[in-house]
Amino acid sequence: MLRRAGHSLGSRLCQRQGQLEPAVQGLKPSFAVAEEAVEGARDASTLLVKQRMKSVANIGKITKAMKMVAASKMRSAQVNTMNSRGIAEPLLKLLGDLPDAQGKKNVYVPITSDKGLCGGINTTVCKYTRASIKAEDGEDKEHSIVVLGEKGRSQLQRDLRASIHSTVADTGKVRVTFAQAAAIADGINTTEFDVARLIFNRFHSAISYKPTIATSLEKEAEAGGLLDQYEIEGPDRAELLQNLSEFNLASTLYNALMENNCSEQASRMAAMESSTKNAEEMLGKLTLTYNRTRQATITTELIEIISGATALAG
């Protein structure tokens, strides 16, 4: 289903927790330069190869350290994510997920990271944002984007600059509190949307995170009559529903921020692990080249000496 969604973007793509292809993509280190050196190193001085070996070894050390940092951050992020689900899930159950919700004014909230080197999670979010906008766009419809995270901003402003309403960055550095999430939600509310779509990576496990679109409506009351079975306490039904949908947006956003942060750390861990592996491989290749070149030099020198000696003796 995921794969299909990748090509033709039906509204089904908007299903929450849709089974989308895992976004784990190993980070491809740009070691192409080193590769060239290996090829041509036979005649080059061994010094060049040695330098290259040193830098590759250093890169390997750095990526390994980054992996371990990401792993420890992920552990605490995972706890926060699980805790934040407690408040988001009852609301989801109550109000339902409405992937097909239609509205005149759509607001999209792609949630991305501030830092890179974390595999393909930001690209996936941006891809789904674009696709979702394309799928929902119509004649009499408006859309705007509230971007969360530096990476999403830099990717989306290339082609969707005109639609970006505002950007919020630095949500990942220190753990976002619920009050901060509510403040961001207030910012989203100023777009006066009918339908808000939060696009983020939902954390499943350390190796699996699913691009997810969570929908939130401005007036949850219109949400397919799910609320009709409940009595509403208090004199002002409309106000309560308004408050409820604001609370829902804030909780969903808070949860989405936690989920995405956790996915980011998990993805970075995977990316850095594969980088470390690549660096090790590269180092192995370079060591081989270095040793071969050294041996070749020794052999050549020996031959020269021996043939010189033989010539003298003869």
Window 240-269: residues binding other proteins (CB under 8 A): 240, 243-244, 247, 251, 254
Q: Which of 39, 43, 139, 231 binds other proteins (CB under 8 A)?
A: 231
- Rounded to 5°, the CA angle 245-251-253 comes to 100
- The least distance separating other proteins from the CB of residue 152, rounded to whole angstroms, comes to 23
Q: Can you tell me which residue has the tokens 């901060």? A: 180
Options 11, 28, 68, 90; binder of other proteins; rule CB under 8 A: 90
- How do beta strands 142-148 and 105-110 pair? parallel
Name the residue with tokens 């740009």.
30
- What does the per-residue mask of binding to other proteins show for 140-179, with x meaning CB under 8 A? -------------------------------------xxx
For residue 165, what are its two tokens? Answer: 């309403």
- Binding-site member from 45, 72, 76, 83 for other proteins (CB under 8 A): 83
- For other proteins (CB under 8 A), the number of binding residues is 28
Determine which residue in the list 44, 57, 62, 87 makes contact with other proteins, applying CB under 8 A: 87
Instruction: Please state the separation of Cα 250 from the chain's center in Å.
Output: 21
CA–CA dist 314, 312 (Å, integer):
5
Contact status: 226 vs other proteins (CB under 8 A): no
DSSP assignment of 174-206 equals SPPPHHHHHHHHHHHHTT--SEEEEEEEEEEET
Helix H or strand E segment including 147: strand 142-148
Q: Which is nearer to other proteins, 25 or 189 (CB)?
A: 189
Closest to 208 in 3D by CA, of 21, 81, 72: 21
Q: Is 91 in the site for other proteins (CB under 8 A)?
A: yes
Site string for other proteins, 92-131 (x = CB under 8 A): --x-------------------------------------
233 lines the binding site for other proteins (CB under 8 A)? yes
Using CB under 8 A as the binding rule, whether residue 225 contacts other proteins is answered as: no
According to the binding rule CB under 8 A, does residue 203 interact with other proteins?
no
Least CB distance to other proteins at residue 93 (A): 9
**Is residue 308 part of the contact set for other proteins (CB under 8 A)?**
no
Residue 15 to residue 244: CA distance in whole angstroms:
22
Closest CA to 65 of 278, 283, 268, 206: 268
Which residue(s) pair with 215 in the sheet?
Answer: 197
3-state secondary structure of 166: strand
Q: How many CA atoms lie within 13 A of 46 on its CB side?
A: 12
Q: Which residues bind other proteins (CB under 8 A)?
A: 80, 82-84, 86-87, 90-91, 94, 177-179, 181-182, 227, 229-235, 240, 243-244, 247, 251, 254
